[in-house]
Structures are given as structure tokens and as C-alpha cells.
């Protein structure tokens, strides 16, 4: 899995033979600055972008392939013992309103390099059925984290934040709330030269700017009813700069961006997950203590913890989910949730590239 945060590749080796997934090994490989810059640039139109995107897709495939041997060596497996690699690929455009989403990574090359079958392109089939193609992970949350009596919400705070509503009295639902870390990370990198604001320490030194917050919360996306999904196509630095007057202190903008993430999450849960008693965090934002403290203040009636307390490592939950989604593809099982994505019907997701 390599996601909206553009930090690198999360790779996991998962045993799915039991009712609960068993994480056997994990490995993280960071993107270098040049690759990250190229991927970020591909989110907006540029000259010769088709050629550039395919060259980078090959580069990503080789990078993904590098993560496989450490996993196999850790468990003393060989490629023939692995049923499949589930590879999400790197999203560079997500435009369900135009009927497409684009994740690059050259799955055919990845199969060639690893001698393991690869399942990829998970989102397109859902979009073909009229859905958003995202989020897809709620079906996995439903499979492993649902409680028969307790109303839970699973909150993934990656580049974009999204919720899965696991009510014991209703079908599973879920959607993207809005920006999670991506605007905070970009602002932090621009002003501090670091990829993210560790523990939200810099944001904690600033003051929330009410007028800026109101301008950002006026974005029509926040008022849309689910199903809905978003990404860098909407929430990007141009979006932010169009709301700044240029006189703001950098740390105050960071504090306001953190508040934007928290308020949009809290409003989403209050409006669409009413009655939730437990919220379990995963993704990089789960490590931001300032953000967690603010969420606790905004949602005082909910117990807030991390998915690790349920036996699933939050840092690798999304990668584990795409292993499970790949298994569903191999088995020919439908794995999208139409209530989540808005698709007309459930579908078998993904394309298989045999070794």
C-alpha cells in the first residue's frame, strides 16, 4: 500500500487462512524526495504527463518489488508459497465524477519481477458500477472489527480521513470526511522542511484562525451527503492558498489545518454515525497527540483508542486490508459495499496478473 500521504510503501505478509488475519511480517520503504516530488506533480496536468506517469509506474513497480524479499526472508518463504500480492498502486487522479480513477504501479512488471501473481486496479470496477471507487477498506473493517453489541467507528487518518460506521443495528457505511494529514504535512514541509508535524507539536504552538477555518469549512464537499470520496484533486496547496491573505503566521495556519481535520471528522461522526460509543484510530494521524486530544474534546461521549487495542496494527491496517481484498478477488467474491461507495451493486474488484 502506498497512499495519499506519499510517504512510502507499506508491505505486509498476511496469513488469511483463519477467521482473523495473521500479520506475519511487515516492512516500510520510504519514497525518496525526487520520487515524492514527481508523484505530487502528477496530480495536476503537465507536459508529457502520459509518458512521465508510465515511467514512474515502472519505478514504483520496482520499488514495490524491493519490499517483497525482506518479508519472505523473515518467514523463510519462497515466492511459490505466496498466493498473490495485493497492490493498490499510487493514486494520481481520483475523479469518480468523470467515471474514472487512476492508480499507477505497473502490476504486470511487479508480477514479472517477483514471480508472484498480482491483484491490482481495485477501484475501477466499483466506479464502472456507478460508485465512487472509495473507500474500499470499510468492507474489511466490517469483516474483522465489527462488534455484535457495541456501536464502533473506525477512523483512518491518512492523507485523507475516512470513517467506517459499524453500528450493530444497521448495515456498514463509510465515506471520506476530508483532509486528514495531507494539508498539514505539505504546510509543515514548506515551512519547517520536515515531512510531518511530529505529535502535532508545531500546531500546538499556533492559534486557530476562525475566519480561515470558516472559509475552509465552507467547501461544498463537507456538506455533501455520503457516499462521497475525495483526495488531492480537491484538497491541495492551491486550495489552501486561495483562502490565505498572506499575513497569517505559519504556525497559526498549521493549528487551523489541524482544527479543520478534527472538526470535519467530528461533524462527520456526529451527523452520520450518531450513537457511536467507541472510535478506533488507524493511519499516520493516530500518532498525532495534539490531534487525538482535540478529537477527544470534540467527541466527549466516545471512547477513543487505536485499532492496535483490537489486535490490528493501525500502521499496517490498510495494507492488510488490500491483502484481504486481493484474496476476495482470487476467490471471485464481491468485496465492495454499495452503501459505502454508491455503486449500483456489489462487484468482484481488481484485475489479476498471473505470475
> pLDDT by residue (tens digit) across 139-163?
999 999 999 999 999 999 999 999 9
Residue 101 binned pLDDT confidence (cut-offs 50, 70, 90): very high
Q: Does residue 5 register a pLDDT over 90?
A: no
Q: Does residue 103 register a pLDDT over 90?
A: yes
The dihedrals phi and psi of 274, each to the nearest 5 degrees, come to -55, 135
Instruction: Give the chain's count of helices (H) and strands (E).
Output: 15, 12
Nearest Cα residue to 177 out of 254, 253, 281: 281
Beta carbons of 1 and 103 less than 8 angstroms apart: no
DSSP one-letter string for 80-132: GG---EE---EEEEEEGGGTEEEEES-HHHHHHHHTS-EEE--SHHHHHTTS-
Grid coordinates representing 234? Answer: 480537491
Task: Work out the end-to-end distance of the chain between its first and last CA atoms, rounded to an integer number of angstroms.
Answer: 20
- Buried b / exposed e over 10-28, threshold 16 CB at 10 Å, is bbbbbebeeeebebeebbe
Residue 65 binned pLDDT confidence (cut-offs 50, 70, 90): very high
Q: Is the pTM of this model over 0.75?
A: yes
H or E element in which residue 282 lies: strand 278-282
Do you find a cis peptide bond into 135, omega within 30 degrees of 0? yes
Environment class of residue 241 by beta-carbon count within 10 Å: exposed (0-12), middle (13-18) or buried (19+)? exposed
Q: Does residue 4 register a pLDDT over 90?
A: no
Beta carbons of 87 and 65 less than 8 angstroms apart: no
Determine how β-strand 22-30 pairs with β-strand 8-15.
antiparallel
Residue 19 binned pLDDT confidence (cut-offs 50, 70, 90): confident
Looking at residues 31-58, what average pLDDT do you find? 94
Q: Which domains does the chain have, with CATH numbers?
A: 8-133+316-353 (3.30.420.40), 138-314 (3.30.420.40)
> pLDDT by residue (tens digit) across 283-339?
999 999 999 999 999 999 999 999 999 999 999 999 999 999 999 999 999 999 999
Amino acid at each position: 500500500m502506498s497512499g495519499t500521504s506519499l510517504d512510502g510503501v507499506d508491505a505486509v505478509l498476511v496469513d488469511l487462512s483463519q477467521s482473523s488475519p495473521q500479520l506475519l511480517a511487515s516492512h516500510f520503504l520510504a519514497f525518496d524526495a525526487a520520487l515524492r516530488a514527481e508523484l505530487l506533480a502528477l496530480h495536476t496536468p503537465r507536459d508529457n504527463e502520459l509518458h512521465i506517469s508510465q515511467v514512474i509506474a515502472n519505478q514504483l513497480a520496482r520499488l514495490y518489488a524491493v519490499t517483497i524479499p525482506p518479508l519472505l526472508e523473515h518467514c523463510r518463504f519462497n515466492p511459490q508459497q505466496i498466493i498473490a500480492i495485493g497492490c493498490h498502486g499510487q493514486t494520481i487522479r481520483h475523479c469518480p465524477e468523470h467515471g474514472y480513477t487512476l492508480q499507477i504501479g505497473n502490476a504486470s512488471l511487479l508480477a514479472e519481477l517477483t514471480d508472484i501473481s498480482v491483484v491490482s486496479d481495485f477501484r475501477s470496477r466499483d466506479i464502472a458500477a456507478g460508485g465512487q471507487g472509495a473507500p474500499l477498506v470499510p468492507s474489511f473493517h466490517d469483516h474483522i472489527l465489527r462488534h455484535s453489541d457495541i456501536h464502533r467507528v473506525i477512523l483512518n487518518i491518512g492523507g485523507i480521513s475516512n470513517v467506517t460506521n459499524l453500528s450493530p443495528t444497521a448495515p456498514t457505511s463509510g465515506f471520506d470526511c476530508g483532509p486528514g494529514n495531507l494539508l498539514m504535512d505539505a504546510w509543515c514541509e514548506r515551512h519547517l522542511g520536515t515531512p510531518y508535524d511530529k505529535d502535532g507539536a508545531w500546531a500546538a504552538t499556533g492559534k486557530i484562525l476562525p475566519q480561515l477555518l470558516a472559509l475552509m469549512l465552507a467547501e461544498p464537499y463537507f456538506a455533501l451527503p455520503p457516499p462521497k470520496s475525495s483526495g488531492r484533486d480537491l484538497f491541495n496547496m492551491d486550495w489552501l492558498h486561495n483562502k490565505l491573505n498572506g499575513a497569517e503566521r505559519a504556525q497559526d495556519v498549521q493549528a487551523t489545518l489541524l482544527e479543520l481535520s478534527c472538526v470535519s471528522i467530528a461533524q462527520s461522526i456526529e451527523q452520520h454515525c450518531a450513537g457511536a460509543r467507541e472510535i478506533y484510530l488507524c493511519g499516520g494521524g493516530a500518532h498525532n497527540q495534539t490531534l487525538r486530544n482535540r478529537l477527544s474534546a470534540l467527541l466527549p461521549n466516545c471512547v477513543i483508542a487505536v485499532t492496535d487495542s483490537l489486535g490490528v496494527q493501525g500502521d499496517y491496517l490498510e495494507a492488510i486490508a488490500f491483502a484481504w481484498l486481493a484474496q476476495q478477488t482470487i476467490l471471485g467474491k464481491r468485496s465492495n459495499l454499495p452503501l459505502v461507495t454508491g455503486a449500483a451493486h456489489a462487484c468482484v474488484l481488481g484485475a489479476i496478473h498471473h505470475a
